[in-house]
Structure formats: structure tokens, C-alpha cells
Chains A and B, each alone.
Chain A
Amino acid sequence: MAYAAERLPGEEKKGLGGRLSRFLSKGPLHVLLIGLALFWLTPSFGLLITSFRTAADNSESGWWTVFTEPRQLTLEPYKKILANDGLITAIFNTIKITLPASVLVVLIAALAAYAFSWMEFKGREWFFLFVVTLIVVPLQMALIPVARIFGIVNIFGTVTAAIVFHIAFGLPFAIFLLRNFFIGLPHELLEAARIDGASEWQIFARIVLPLGMPAIASLLIFQFLWTWNDLLVGLVFAGENPPITVFIQQQLRQFGANLEVIAPGAFLSMILPLIVFFAFQRYFVQGLLAGSVK
């Protein structure tokens, strides 16, 4: 499929006419894709527009009325929310939680997944089954008891508490996922490296990591997003240092549905995950496996 989509050299046409005819020849597919994209964007787009309207407008009419009355749009909500220190602090708290939590989960899970897929040790199957089983533990179940443990070691309410909790509950799925990716890596490469006398660390760093990059990048985006969007853990454990999701939730509690704070706040909180997505998605695009095995 990817193969068929690449253009053949002879087909390359220059100029507007060529481009237009090429576009029209793929017409139905393009219309479908664009239609799908528009449909998909509607909720987020609505939120964006809402974030540029005043509280009064938002309570009277829906965001789509801007198409007939574009004068409703205003920067006021953003000015107001950026003057509020709470939001900026909240965004920084989220970053402080999300960065270490996602990087450490990916790092630990990659090592563990390598062991589960390519090293032999006693009880490997059982241990792996145990890890898989832990996916089922709903994190709600652990909230109250872990809060007590965190209280004893005196980190309750801090950013560290949220990080530790996210790592603990992120690992089972991360290990399961990476293990299923790693086990599909070409056998021949690893065997050859072992015969050549490479150590486990060398095999991990030189072969498994580079080849598993699409999987690792996707897990990183995944974990980053998951932690970034989390409300519950932040609410319970990082109470004195609320992350952005908790901040938005508090706006909801205090003043009813406070859309003129929630909408711009939500949009500001979406910027960084999108940057992370753009930064890491190029790892999917490079076909790293191409040419490594004949």
C-alpha cells in the first residue's frame, strides 16, 4: 500500500496544471480524507472558537454562530487567563510530572521487554504472566492505600508522588507492549550478534534500541499523553502542586461550567503534547528495518 502510494519518477508533472490533474485523478479519495478530517476536527475546532468568545456569548449561543457573527471573536479570555498565575504554575507542574514519568517508564520498560523477549531466565513465562495480570489492576483501587504509604515516606502532595505512581501503573502495559514489538525483531540479527560475542548491553543498545525505535517513540508519545491528560492521580497525589488538568477541573467546580476559563486553558494545555507528537512522529516515517536484513 505504501509502495503503491509512492510516485514513479516518470509520473512527476511540473506546474499547476499537472498538480491539479493529479489531484483530481485521486479526487474521491481526497474528498473522503478531507471530509473525514473536517468531521474529526469539529469538536476540537469548536473548542478553539469557544476559547475566543466571551462568557456572555458562550452562555447565550453555540460556538458555530461565529460564522454569521464573526465580531464575537475576542482575545479577552486569553488575556484574562494568562494574567492568572495559577495556570502557568499548573502547566509547569504538569511538565515536571509528565517528563520524568514518561521517560522513565519507557526506559525501564525497554530494558524489561528486552529481557522478556530475548533473554532466558528461570520463571520467565510466569513472571511475564504476572506483569500482564497487573494491567488489570484499576488504579482507583490503589489510591487510598498508596496515599497512606506516601504519607509515611512524606512525599504525599508532591510532584514526586504523582511521578512514582504514574511509573508504577504505566509499566505493566509498557512492558507488555514493547515485549510484543521486540519479539517480532529479526531473530537472525540477534543470534549473529551473540555469536560475534556481543554482550547483552551491546545487543540492547546497538540493535534492539535502534530497530525498536518506532515502537519506543510511539510508547513515549503514548505515555506522555496519558500522563499529561491524567486527572485522577494529579487530583489525589499532587494536591498542593496541581497539574493543568486539575486546574481546569477546579474552574469547573468553583463557578459552574466556567467555559471562558476552561476553553482557553484547555487549548494552552494542548500545545505541548502536540509539539511532542510532531517531534517524535518522524521516527515512524523512517523505515528503519529496511535493509538491515537480507
Chain B
Amino acid sequence: MRLLRHHSSLAWPYLAGLIVLVALPLLGTLWLALTEFSGIVAPRFVGLANFETLIGSDRFWLSLGNSLVYVAIAVPLRLLGTVAFALLLNNRFKGAGAARAVAYLPTVVPDVAYALLWLWILNPLYGPLTAGLEALGASSPGWLTDPWAARFSVAFMGAFQIGEGFVIALAARRSIPQRLYEAAAVDGARPLLILRRITLPLMAPILAVLALRDVLLSFHTNFVPALIVTGGGDPRYATFYLPLYVYQTGFRYGRLGYASAITVAIFAIMAIILVVQYRLLRRWRLT
């Protein structure tokens, strides 16, 4: 049954809002990226000079590499946690509501407080993590002094804050019709087979959206930990991520034009990642 009506006119308020609040500002940043601008004197047009500096800048490539490493560690960890929690806590049992709240709790802790707390947990002298590992007879690396340990620590911190994805994955699991599981039970299918053939494929379209978003967000969410926990990208710039680079360039050194150029570069990189992901999702028929 076809219903071709002129519904597209309904979209105009939305489109207008997008243009004013999203598209125009984007052009504004693009323009600033082509200028030298300190925030005090009017911007001076310099063409592509900022981008030339950017390509030759070691700090840019360093922070990009660090950000990619962060995404590569944090996103799989977070997705795994999201799916595992959604499946575990989907069942009805006594205290399920409380258990779901526990899963969700770390996400509600404000970022600054959360970062300060981890600073204590990762403390090499009195921290409970080091103490716990030593009690088990294992030695622990200097969590915030060894470059790779610091990279993992920051990613690990982020892996606790998955409450948002968790509620959505839970809803996705809930939307799978119960009759499929009943039919599988009648056929005597094993849990692993049910997981592979029913649960995961039917949750896939939603998990795909979550993964896509998580990759993009992970380029930004490491700002507060990098600022507070590793004190601005230490040790030896191992946690010097892109947002920190933008922040330092723009707000500490007052080079707003160059900072805009970095932002535009990040945007371009994320756009490429989005297109690749979206293509893959299309090919797998997930969207």
C-alpha cells in the first residue's frame, strides 16, 4: 500500500533549525580555520597556512595517534560491557532493578568528580588498585607513569561509564519477540546458538548505531581524564589526545584560527570514519 502525501513540508522547521544551529556554525569554523585569530584583533585571512602547519606538526600526528589508540581500546571494551550487561540483566530475577541501577550508576557520576576519584584509585603509593594487586602477589606498573599503562588506565576508566548504551541495548534485547525464544526452546537449541542466531542478529541494527556513536564520541570524551587524571597528557605525551590539543592551542596559547583548523581536521577524519562505518553497515544490511 503506497501513501505518497506531501509530508516533506513538515520537515521544514527541523531543517531550518539544523541550518541555523549546525550547518551555519560549521561554515563559521571553516572560515576561522583559514585565518590567524587571537580573539582580540580581527581575524586575518591566511589561506591554507594553518593546514600546512598542521601537516608538518609532530604534536598533531602524536595526538591523532593517541586518540586512535584510545578509540581502539575503549570502544570494544565499552561495547562488550554494554552487550554483556544488557543480556545478563535482561532476565527477571530478584534485585534485577537494583542490579540495572548498579550497572548504570558510574555514568551518573559527574565527570570531574569521577576523574578525581580515579586519580586516587590509580595512585601508585596508596591506591587500592596497586595494594590489591600486590596482595595477590602481582606487581603493578606505575599506572600513570608508564605510557601504555596510562593509556589503558584512561580507556579503562571510560569503560565504566556505559549506562547510556546499556539502557538502549536493554531495550533492543527487550524488543525481540518472546515467541522466537519459545520456538528455539521447543527445538532444543543451545544457549550459544540462540545467542548467535537470534539475540545478536536481532540486536545488531541497534548495536550498530551504538558502535557508530561510540567511535565518534570517543574522540571527545577523553578530555576530562586527560586534563585531570594524567595532568594534561602525561606521561611523555602518551595521553595527549586531540581535544586536549585543541584546548591548549586555542585557550592556552590563544591561537583560535589554528585551533579551528585542528577542529576541521578532526571533523574530516570523523566524517571519513562515519562514511566507512555507514557503508559497512549498509553492506551488512544493518541500517
Contact = CB atoms under 8 A, between A and B. Distances in A.
B97 A278 contact: yes
A109 B102 CA distance: 28
Given A121-B4, A229-B108, A289-B175, A135 B213 contact: yes
A281 B107 contact: no
A177 to B, nearest CB: 5
Interface in A278-294: 278, 281, 284-285, 287, 289-290, 293
B209 A176 contact: yes
A119 B103 contact: no
Nearest to B4: A120
Interface string B171-205: 11011011101100100000100110001001001
Contacts of A171: 14
Contact of A248 (B88, B103, B110, B182): B110
B122 to A, nearest CB: 11
Given A135-B216, A194-B1, A273-B108, A46 B121 contact: yes
B92 A2 contact: yes
Most buried by A among B90, B100, B101, B175: B175
B37 to A, nearest CB: 10
A87 to B, nearest CB: 12
Interface string B1-28: 1111111101100100110111011111
A205 interface: no
A40 B106 contact: yes
Given A138-B219, A140-B263, A177-B168, A1 B177 contact: no
Most buried by B among A148, A169, A176, A281: A281
Q: Say what secondary structure dominates the interface of chain A.
A: helix
Given A146-B21, A177-B209, A278-B97, A141 B105 contact: no
Nearest to A140: B263
B22 A137 contact: yes
B111 A257 contact: no
Nearest to A112: B14
A248 B110 CA distance: 8
Contact of B102 (A3, A40, A169, A289): A40
B167 A132 contact: no
A191 B1 contact: yes
Interface in A242-294: 244-245, 248-249, 252, 257, 259, 262-263, 265-266, 269-270, 273-274, 277-278, 281, 284-285, 287, 289-290, 293
Contact of B113 (A141, A226, A266): A266
B7 A115 contact: yes
B87 interface: yes
A141 B109 contact: no
Contact of B167 (A1, A222, A257): A222
B70 interface: no
B123 interface: yes
Contact of A145 (B25, B91, B167): B25
B287 A180 contact: yes
Given A44-B105, A289-B178, A120 B246 contact: no
B219 A4 contact: no
Contacts of A115: 7, 10-11
Contacts of A133: 271, 274
26 contacts: A1-B91, A1-B191, A2-B178, A5-B92, A37-B102, A43-B106, A62-B127, A121-B8, A134-B18, A136-B271, A137-B22, A137-B26, A145-B24, A173-B213, A177-B209, A180-B206, A194-B1, A218-B170, A245-B111, A252-B112, A270-B105, A277-B101, A278-B101, A281-B167, A284-B174, A287-B174
Interface of B: 1-8, 10-11, 14, 17-18, 20-22, 24-29, 32, 87-88, 90-93, 97, 99-114, 116-118, 120-121, 123, 126-128, 160, 163-164, 167-168, 170-172, 174-175, 177-179, 181-182, 185, 191, 194-195, 199, 202, 205-206, 208-209, 212-213, 216, 219-220, 224, 243, 246, 263-264, 266-267, 270-271, 274, 278, 287
Interface of A: 1-6, 33, 37, 40-44, 46-47, 50, 61-64, 108, 112, 115, 119-123, 127, 132-138, 140-146, 148-149, 164-165, 167-169, 171, 173, 176-177, 180-181, 183-184, 191, 194-195, 200, 214-215, 217-219, 221-222, 225-226, 228-229, 231, 244-245, 248-249, 252, 257, 259, 262-263, 265-266, 269-270, 273-274, 277-278, 281, 284-285, 287, 289-290, 293
Given A42-B128, A219-B168, A259-B116, 17 more contacts: A1-B87, A1-B191, A37-B99, A43-B109, A64-B128, A133-B274, A134-B18, A138-B270, A168-B21, A169-B21, A184-B175, A215-B171, A226-B164, A252-B116, A262-B113, A273-B108, A281-B101
